[in-house]
Amino acid sequence: MPASQRYPSLSRTATYRRRRAFTATILVVLLTLVVGLTSWWFTSGRYVAAPSVINLTQAEAQGVADQAGLTITFAQEYSETVPTDLVISSDPVPGDRIVRGSQMSAVISKGPERFAVPQVAGMTLNDAKQALSEANLATGTITEQWSETVVTGLVISAGYTAGEQLKRDTPVDLAVSIGREPLTIPSVVGKPKEEAAKTLTDLGFQVAYGDEQVSATVPAGSVISQNPASGTGYRSDTITLVISKGANLTKVPAPATNEKPATYYDRLTAAKFAPELVYSGANLGPNVGKIAKVTDEDDNVLTADSELPEGAKVKVYVSL
């Protein structure tokens, strides 16, 4: 007879115990799996590595985020280094852990930040400074300059061309007018015509000419006078010059035979010369007191056909 039939109570107890042991083992295994899975989920399972979207376009970054099961938002900023429309940065940074299905953000480049230089020429200094400030630019070095066209106190020019694109707070230099530059008028009287004109035009003056005049003292082709003669003027002012035609040449009267020196002296004076009686020699003969010779100032002997400028000196040599 089998033992189960001989000992029916003992057989049922053993079977029950085996079943309980098996069930307990299953429960332990399941509990271990649950604990392990739960621990994994909270420690790493629910996280993914943030994908890199740097230097991608917005559409490309959106696609990367979608593949990673993430949502993504975008903002824009200026950048000196990253081209327009590409991602500058992201949060979290690439490789950092992020919860699956959560949100990341990215910043899209707007390119370099630039501001147009305003038109400030012709403005007062204060207005120019205000215009630069409103354009997010700074006022640089202010230089005062003479100007023939811009009124005192107004801006002549800026260090950059109007409309030029600059970084924020770039200093813009300004040149401000202090009016026309006064120029000293030099005297060119006595100078040759060409030299006088060049002297004046090199300083910025204009040159005009009056009617030429006769002069016994100023050589032909040189300046007799100028107007204005001195003082100060301004660039493009006109200086009028009078040029010498030289002296009028007049025939020197020849002394008449046995003409007395005094009489001849008077005739030379009437002819607008400057006679000088020169007594020389020790002649005790019949020529004493007579005119020996007539010369110019340099002792060149004059003949009946000689001509000299009006006012020229004529020497009359009289024998002693």
CA distance 171 to 129: 11
- Please tell me the pTM assigned to this model: 0.58
Mapping DSSP onto H, E and C, the string for the chain reads CCHHHHCHHHHHHHHHHHHHHHHHHHHHHHHHHHHHHHHHHHHHHCEEECCCCCCCEHHHHHHHHHHCCCEEEEEEECCCCCCCCEEEEEECCCCCEEECCCEEEEEEECCCCCEECCCCCCCEHHHHHHHHHHCCCEEEEEEEECCCCCCCCEEEEECCCCCCEECCCCEEEEEEECCCCEEECCCCCCCEHHHHHHHHHHHCCEEEECCCEECCCCCCCEEEEEECCCCEEECCCEEEEEEEEECCEEECCCCCCCCCHHHHHHHHHHCCCEEEEEEECCCCCCCCCCEEEEEECCCCECCCCCEEECCCEEEEEEEC
Mean pLDDT of 52-69: 95
Locate 279 and state its tokens: 């007594």
pLDDT tens, residue by residue, 67-123:
999 999 999 999 999 999 999 999 999 989 999 889 999 999 999 999 999 999 999
Q: What is the pLDDT of residue 237?
A: 97
Class of domain 249-319: alpha beta
Confirm if 107 and 75 have CB atoms less than 8 A apart. yes
Q: What is the pLDDT of residue 311?
A: 85
Fold of 115-177: Trypsin Inhibitor V; Chain A (3.30.10)
Which residue type is seen at 210?
Answer: G
Confirm if 171 and 139 have CB atoms less than 8 A apart. yes
**What is the CATH code for 182-246?**
3.30.10.20
Residues near 118 by Cβ (< 8 Å), separated by ≥ 6? 131, 132, 134, 135, 162
Other beta carbons less than 10 A from residue 47's beta carbon: 15
Q: What is the pLDDT of residue 248?
A: 84
Q: Of 13-22, 44-53, 171-180, 307-316, which range is least confident?
A: 13-22
Q: What is the pLDDT of residue 41?
A: 45
Q: What is the pLDDT of residue 185?
A: 98
pLDDT tens, residue by residue, 214-248:
887 899 999 999 999 999 999 999 999 999 998 88
Q: What is the pLDDT of residue 24?
A: 65
pLDDT tens, residue by residue, 264-298:
999 999 999 999 999 987 555 667 889 999 999 99
pLDDT category of residue 40 using cuts at 50, 70 and 90? very low
CA distance 127 to 122: 10
Q: What is the pLDDT of residue 20?
A: 73
Stated length of the chain: 320
Q: What is the pLDDT of residue 289?
A: 86
Distance of CA 106 to the CA centre of its chain: 43
CA atoms within 13 A on the CB side of 215: 18
Q: What is the pLDDT of residue 284?
A: 52
The percent of residues above 90 in pLDDT, for the chain, comes to 75
**What is the CATH code for 49-109?**
3.30.10.20
